[in-house]
Amino acid sequence: MDSYDVVIVGAGAAGLFCAGVASQAGLRVLLVDHSVKVAEKIRISGGGRCNFTNRLLDPSAPHKHFISQNPHFCRSALSRYTPQDFIALVQKHGIPFHEKHKGQLFCDDSSEDIIRMLLAECEAGGVTRWSGCAVQSVTYQDSPSLYALQTGRGAVQAPALVVATGGLSIAPIGATDWGYRIASQFGLRLVERRPGLVPLTFDSATWAPYSHLAGLSLPVGIETGERKNRTHFDEDLLFTHRGLSGPAVLQISSYWHEGTSVRVNLAPQVDLPEALSQAKLRSRKLLSNELANLVPNRLAESWAAQDTTWQRPVAEVPDKALHKLADSLSQWQLTPQGSEGYKKAEVTLGGVDTRDLSSQTMESKHPGLYFIGEVVDVTGWLGGYNFQWAWASAHACATALAKQRQDVI
């Protein structure tokens, strides 16, 4: 049986980076993945340009950008491996990048640049990689402490096992529940999983008045929750044939719960009551034509068509009806039927309970068993935060493994 210092299962962002750091610290590393192609999620991310981190991330206040039953858990790893650290690695490899907005950093050319960089880091440390290799079983023995894995390429063993298999999102590119099953096998608790950063959908009757707006995009304010639990985003919204998508909706979806509503301001940069009142004083145009000066034309026509009073010249529309129109656009409240699910979700909320993990090392309460990246109950906002959690948790794990090896020597 082949022996290694550590076996890492999952060759995505977290697994590749952990393997590179650990191997360059002197550990003998085996990286195993059931897919033939590594890092598919990196490959498709950011429209193929990989939003690899966010320079505005504040490690001292992770609750601002991360969702977890214990949002402070990720503070240790994020503060020890920051966006600036990963940016330095990207620059070392000569990868050109740019900031899109709100601190989001993208490759100028292709996500492949990040994948090649991670593979180069693995190669520099002499990582053994087995792609297209499934792990059939994992067993553990005491004295000496060893994990034995039965794989498609034979049996291997190591004193440390790192699970970096991600979540349930986007099954066609290889997502499975393997990491959660291993956590359960070794007695770790799991936080309920659900799709995150995902488009929201509505039943056909509710959505019928809006389905023709599919393809329309506009900046909005969107929120869900009440009082202290209220969450708000200012981002772009996209109408689809089945519901709502775009950055605003993806962000709010991670905070939305089934049966609750979302509230949308479709004209956040306009004082609609004042603008419509002024239009009434000076214009003889149809209300829909005046409204088209304030919101996209398709939206103006669609909204005005919902009430016969709104289909008159603006000068003839009663003040009460104008205020009703303004409220309907600035306080549009609707209850989604559901979401597009894991097939469209960018991340999985929930996962391995952080109460059973060390925030310093990512080691679980079962000795020598580590969990990093998306498989853990830590989920970031859209905009590079989830990749930074992958890099930071992987780095924390790899440095802990290296220190442990030095202590043994």
Structure tokens at 64: 């601002």
Instruction: Mark 153-192 as b/e (b = at least 16 C-beta within 10 Å).
Output: eeebbbbbbbbbbbbbbbeeebbbbbbbebbeebebebbe
Same domain, 160 and 47: yes
In one letter, which amino acid is 406?
Q
- Phi, psi for 167 (deg, rounded to 5): -110, -155
Last residue of a domain, one of 307, 340, 373: 340
For 43, 60, 196, 215, 218, the CA distances from 114, given in Å and listed in that order, are 9, 27, 24, 31, 31
Residue 370, strand partner residues: 162, 363
Confidence of residue 409 (pLDDT cuts 50, 70, 90): low
Measured in residues, the chain has a length of: 409
Same domain, 113 and 150: yes
Same domain, 23 and 161: yes
Instruction: Mark 300-320 as b/e (b = at least 16 C-beta within 10 Å).
Output: bbbbbeeeebbeeebeebeee
Does residue 228 carry a pLDDT above 90? no
**pLDDT tens track for 66-88:** 999 999 999 999 999 999 999 99
Q: CB 118: neighbour CB atoms within 10 A?
A: 23
Same domain, 351 and 332: no
Q: What would the mean pLDDT of 101-127 be, rounded to a whole number?
A: 98
d(CA 169, CA 347): 6
Q: What would the mean pLDDT of 158-187 be, rounded to a whole number?
A: 96
Q: What integer pLDDT is reported at residue 171 of this predicted model?
A: 87
**pLDDT tens track for 287-341:** 999 999 999 999 999 999 999 999 999 999 999 999 999 999 999 999 999 999 9
Same domain, 370 and 238: no
Same domain, 152 and 271: no
Same domain, 159 and 231: no
d(CA 170, CA 44): 11
State whether residue 1 is helix, strand or coil: coil
Provide the number of structural domains found in the chain. Answer: 2
Q: What integer pLDDT is reported at residue 71 of this predicted model?
A: 92
Same domain, 166 and 268: no
Mean residue pLDDT of the chain comes to 96
d(CA 43, CA 12): 10
Last residue of a domain, one of 340, 374, 397: 340
% of the chain residues with pLDDT over 70:
99
Same domain, 336 and 365: no
Same domain, 324 and 266: yes
Last residue of a domain, one of 300, 325, 340: 340
Q: Residue 208 class from Cβ within 10 Å (0-12 exposed, 13-18 middle, 19+ buried)?
A: exposed
Query: What CATH number is associated with residue 273?
Result: 2.40.30.10
**pLDDT tens track for 36-77:** 999 999 999 999 999 999 999 999 999 899 999 999 999 999
**pLDDT tens track for 253-302:** 999 999 999 999 999 999 999 999 999 999 999 999 999 999 999 999 99
Of residues 389, 393, 349, 398, the one with CA closest to residue 52: 389
Same domain, 54 and 78: yes
Query: What CATH number is associated with residue 374?
Result: 3.50.50.60
Same domain, 164 and 190: yes
**pLDDT tens track for 208-219:** 999 999 999 999
The parent domain of residue 392 ranges over: 2-194+347-408
Confidence of residue 408 (pLDDT cuts 50, 70, 90): low
